[in-house]
Chains A and B, each alone.
Chain A
Amino acid sequence: SQKIEQNSEALNIQEGKTATLTCNYTNYSPAYLQWYRQDPGRGPVFLLLIRENEKEKRKERLKVTFDTTLKQSLFHITASQPADSATYLCALGTANDMRFGAGTRLTVKP
């Protein structure tokens, strides 16, 4: 069956460190992969998109990698700040729809 798994439900790190979140998938052949941020009581907000033929994408303090052989994406937040605390969701784009992982709740402590 198709699965999208994000490494852990919760990740706690100290301010200034790099947060690394993992997204693994099985039985999918996504054309692209996306990361979204969700704050409590709000809808997800798009952060980054990476296509299957791209290895890495950067945007300010964010970096995403996409390994179609390992079927894995890594999402990094460098120089993390308490304001980065949120739930981060990965999503796979297929021919017909977008499917989301369960998310990882990141807490950055000052």
Chain B
Amino acid sequence: NAGVMQNPRHLVRRRGQEARLRCSPMKGHSHVYWYRQLPEEGLKFMVYLQKENIIDESGMPKERFSAEFPKEGPSILRIQQVVRGDSAAYFCASSPGGASSGANVLTFGAGSRLTVL
């Protein structure tokens, strides 16, 4: 069981380019969460998805950011027209059940570190 796999681990983009971050959840997990972390800061919730559904995207900026979790394949966090302020570590986590299931333990990936030049 490979755990939560995120790629790329490191991504460098110039201002205005697009960044795509991928997350393959643990086998058997159908719920995915994306968090953003700035240096020396905590995890900021961005979006919570189930297969083919966005459950809660209240933490995601309205513009330039989007997320999906298709029926087949990994979850994708997409950032269009990146700016320097998007530089951060982006963590994905998965769980077998939903947030309301009563025992929602998250398994995190190692993170994708985005640097915008």
Is A1 an interface residue, CB under 8 A from the partner?
no
Name the residue of chain B whose CB is nearest to the CB of A43: B108
Is A29 an interface residue, CB under 8 A from the partner?
no
Residues on A with C-beta less than 8 A from B55 are: 96-97
Is B69 an interface residue, CB under 8 A from the partner?
no
Interface residues of A in 96-110 (CB under 8 A from B): 96-103
Check if A32 sits within 8 Å of B103, measured CB to CB.
Answer: yes
What sequence of 0s and 1s flags, for each residue 75-111 of chain B, a beta carbon within 8 Å of any chain A beta carbon?
Answer: 0000000000000000101000001101111111111
Is A45 an interface residue, CB under 8 A from the partner?
yes
Residues on A with C-beta less than 8 A from B42 are: 89, 100-103
Check if A43 sits within 8 Å of B93, measured CB to CB.
Answer: yes
A43 touches which one: B102, B104, B105, B110 (CB < 8 A)? B110
Residues on B with C-beta less than 8 A from A91 are: 106
Residues on A with C-beta less than 8 A from B91 are: 43-44
Number of residues on chain B facing chain A (CB within 8 A): 26
Check if B99 sits within 8 Å of A102, measured CB to CB.
Answer: no
Top 3 A-B residue pairs of the complex, sorted by shortest distance between their CB atoms = A43-B108, A102-B42, A100-B43
Of the A-B pairs whose beta carbons lie under 8 Å apart in the complex, a sample of 21, sorted by A's number, is A31-B100, A43-B91, A44-B43, A49-B105, A89-B42, A89-B43, A91-B106, A93-B99, A93-B104, A94-B99, A95-B99, A95-B100, A96-B48, A96-B99, A96-B100, A97-B56, A97-B99, A99-B45, A100-B43, A100-B45, A102-B41
Given A44-B91, A49-B105, A96-B56, 20 new contacts (CB under 8 A): A32-B103, A34-B105, A36-B106, A42-B110, A43-B4, A43-B91, A43-B93, A43-B111, A46-B105, A46-B107, A49-B103, A51-B102, A89-B43, A93-B99, A97-B45, A97-B55, A99-B45, A100-B42, A100-B45, A101-B42
